[in-house]
Structures are given as structure tokens and as C-alpha cells.
Amino acid sequence: MYYGFTGGGCTNMIALSETTADGRIIFGKNSDRPLNEAQPLCYYPARDYSTGAEVECTYIKIPQVSHTYACIGSRPYSIFGFEMGVNECGVAIGNEAVYGREKPERCWGLLGMDILRLALERSESAAKAVEIMGALLETYGTGGNPKVRDERFNGNYIITDMKEAYYFESMQRNWVAKRIESKGGIVNCYSVGEDYEKIGKQTLQNAIDKKWILPEGRLNAANVFTRSDCVFADVKSFLRYPRVRYLMESKSDFTVKMMMENLRDHYEGTPQGELHFTKAAAKVPCVCSHAGGENGSNSAASAVISLNPKAHELLRITYWNSMSPPCCSVFRPFYFTGGLPEGLSGAHALYNGKEHWWVFTELERYIALNYEMFAPRVKEKMQALEREFLSEAEELEVKFDGDSQQLKAFSETAAQRSFEAAKECLDGIKKSIQTKDINRLMLDYFKIAAEGCNMPYDDTIIK
């Protein structure tokens, strides 16, 4: 069975300090990935390396730098790189896979996720990350197996630190970057036009040589990078882009909670949101993405990263992580305290009931069998927990005495409580569901998804 990358697409959003309620920067991302691809949350400590050391990325090795910064990031289990992450300096990055005008080079290269992680490990500022990412692209190219290739090996990014942020958009080894003024977002399409501020060394000349622009013309990056034909994968991104713009621009005094709710968006209050199919069927390309069918993709993990330069040093960076589509999950807070709670970082290819990612994913699968029946009761429980975590995090920022163990204990408790809540919700659905309750449209999705990862289920009920 082929588990394609056809059902959804990542979403990145950012609110800079002048648009937030208390002057912090708030970054958010949903990482949409293929069905059954586990995405654990990982921590990598700072390290020093000797001269001549190499780093093994997903497909190639490249020279390592002398020092790497500590990072927290969300990583597909079989890939070196991150979908999104933040380093100890407060540099945060999220990526988008995009189709480009050219077919990929037939060579091994770096994945966009590899570039993201390498930039976090090597950058003390957003501007430095732009510089490093541009150099990595120009030196190594982007892509994977040159014989079996998805065309979407180009990457777009939001890059931020505690002072400023950038859009970074690329096609093959060509790239542009633009400073973000106040707030914004990106999806799986190009959006930077003529107003870029930084550009790759050969980007302009390449566009001239290929007659994409006239020799005396200014490059419109979105027009140059976007392919001239338009297929469904593009269309669903172009549909989501104005929704993301609306979600960001319609709000003022932005908060961490607002960003969480943006990542849960299913076009609420619009005609698109009133489609008669269940939300779990994924018939409309939403910010909160569900696989819907066996060839779909879903929001495998989500992050809201709070950067608050006015807080205590240990509280300046808060990584709020959610696993599975966030509409029925919960965001938990993590800090740079030297590691992460047990159960977050070990998910692999096959189902494991001891891993957080797999339990939250299993819960989503059962909710999808009857979203209208099960989602409200799960949301009620998860939202109550999340409000508690947000309240305690706010209180910590006021009363924190510098004890890192207090932060570590808070993260461990939040992780464990949310994990237990997910298991309780799951057990409740399993005990109450009857064959007649199942939405038959979702049955193939449930069975194929479960069988593809060895997730057990009661086939006397799920039939």
C-alpha cells in the first residue's frame, strides 16, 4: 500500500512582538506528514567537535562545525532533520515542502528538514540562519534518492529569533529571503514577490539564463519559482494560504492560546466549514489536517514556540508540543532543562502503546470513526488540561526563582497527565463504541491505517 503525500500540507504562522499581548514572539506550525510516519519530539544537547568531523544527514555526510547549539525539535522518525524546532539561542524555524518550476536535480542532497536542523545547530540569530541555509543550499543542493524522487524537494521556511523574523523561499539551489514586518504565515506555495531583501548568489542570473525574466527585469520570486501548470497539490495550498492570512490578520494582541487555536482551524464560521462530510474525512484542505483516506497525510505534530526576551533566562523559550491533529490533542510545555520527559522521543515505524506519539495517533484514529460523537468529549478533557498548563506557565513566569528542577518537574507532570488523559479517552471510546456508531466512510481509513502500523483493534466491532 502506498501512503502518499497528497492529503494535506504544513502550515507556519508567526506573530512578532509588536502584535502580541505581552511583547513576546509567538511562532506556530502544524507538521503534515504521510500516514503512519511517527514524529517524536527530540532534544539534542550542545556539542563540540574536532577538526575533520562529519555529520551524517538523511542521505549525505557533510563537514561538521566546531560547535553545535542545543535544540528541541520535531523529527520524522527516519529522517535526520526537523520539521520545526528551536535552539538554545532562541532561533526557531519551521519548513514547508513546495513544488518548484524545475524537476529535482538527479543527485543526492540535503532534505529541507536537514537544512532546518543544521541551521538551528549552527545559528545564534535568524539572520545567521538565513546565511547558513543559503550556503547549504548552494553547496549541496536539496533532495534525496536521485532514482526515486517526489518532486517536492524544495523548502520554504519561517525563521525567527527574539528580535526579527524572515521568510526564506527556495527552488533547487535558488533562494530569496524577506524580513517579516509584524505577523504572517506560509503554506505549501511561494509567496515572496519582488520585495525580497536577500537573494542567492546565482538566483537572478539563473532566472535570466532560463528566460524566466528579462535581463533588465526585477525577479518576482513567487512567479519565477512557481510552476506554470497547476495540479491539485498546488490548488489546495493556494486555497489554504488566504485562510492563514485571515487567521493572523483578524486578531490583535496575539497570545499563545490564539496560536494554538489557529493550528486547530477547520474553517469554522465559513461556508467551507459547513461541508456535510465529517472533519476527519479531510475533504477540505484545512490548517488542522486529517488523513481522511489511506492515501492522505495528517498533522503528525504541532508546535507553538514562545520567545520572551523579558522573562527569566530559563523561561525565555517555551516549546509547546502537540501530537496528532491538534483539534483533539493537547499542547504541553517544554524548556531547555537538559532533556525531555520519557516517552516523547522514541516513536518508530510500528505502533507502540508506551510512546506518546502512537497513543495520541491511535486516539485520533478512533475519534475519526465518528468525529461528531467522540471529538466533543475528547476536546473538553484536553482543553481543560491545556488551560491548566497555560495558567501554570503564566504563573511560573511571574514567580519563578531560577530552579530548573521546577521547570523539569512541570514538563514531566504535563507530559504524563496528558498521556494518561489520552489513554483514558481512548479506553472510553473503545468501551462505548458499537458497530452501528461507525461512519462507514471512515472505515477503510481506520483499518488500512491500523494494519499498516500493526495497531491492534477489535475486529468484531470494527467491521
Backbone angle region of 13, left / alpha / beta, with phi > 0 → left and psi within -120 to 50 → alpha? beta
**Whole-number Cα distances in Å, 435 to 244, 311, 460:** 38, 52, 8
Q: Give the DSSP H/E element, type plus range, for residue 334.
A: strand 332-334
Cβ atoms 290, 298 nearer than 8 A: yes
Among 106, 59, 33, CA closest to 297: 33
**Cα–Cα dist 435/422, whole Å:** 22
Helices in 250-310 by DSSP H: which ranges?
A: 256-263
> Active-site residue 10, yes or no?
yes
Point out which residues pair with 63 in neighbouring strands: 54
**Cα–Cα dist 239/53, whole Å:** 45
56 CB neighbour count, 10 Å cutoff: 10
Query: Residue 418's Cα: distance from chain center in Å?
Result: 20
Q: Give the DSSP H/E element, type plus range, for residue 154.
A: strand 154-160
- Quick one: cell of 406? 521546577
**Cα–Cα dist 359/340, whole Å:** 18
CB neighbours of 420 closer than 8 A, spacing ≥ 6?
A: none
Longest dimension (CA), the chain: 70
Residue 317's SS3 state is: strand
Cβ atoms 219, 199 nearer than 8 A: yes
**Cα–Cα dist 374/360, whole Å:** 14
Backbone angle region of 282, left / alpha / beta, with phi > 0 → left and psi within -120 to 50 → alpha? left
**Cα–Cα dist 122/129, whole Å:** 8
Q: Give the amino acid at 276.
A: H
**Cα–Cα dist 3/296, whole Å:** 7
Q: Give the DSSP H/E element, type plus range, for residue 391.
A: helix 371-399
Among 459, 342, 329, 463, CA closest to 389: 329
Of 10, 42, 328, 425, which one is the catalytic site residue? Answer: 10
Inter-helix orientation angle 356-369/443-452, to 10°: 160
Positions annotated as catalytic residues are 10
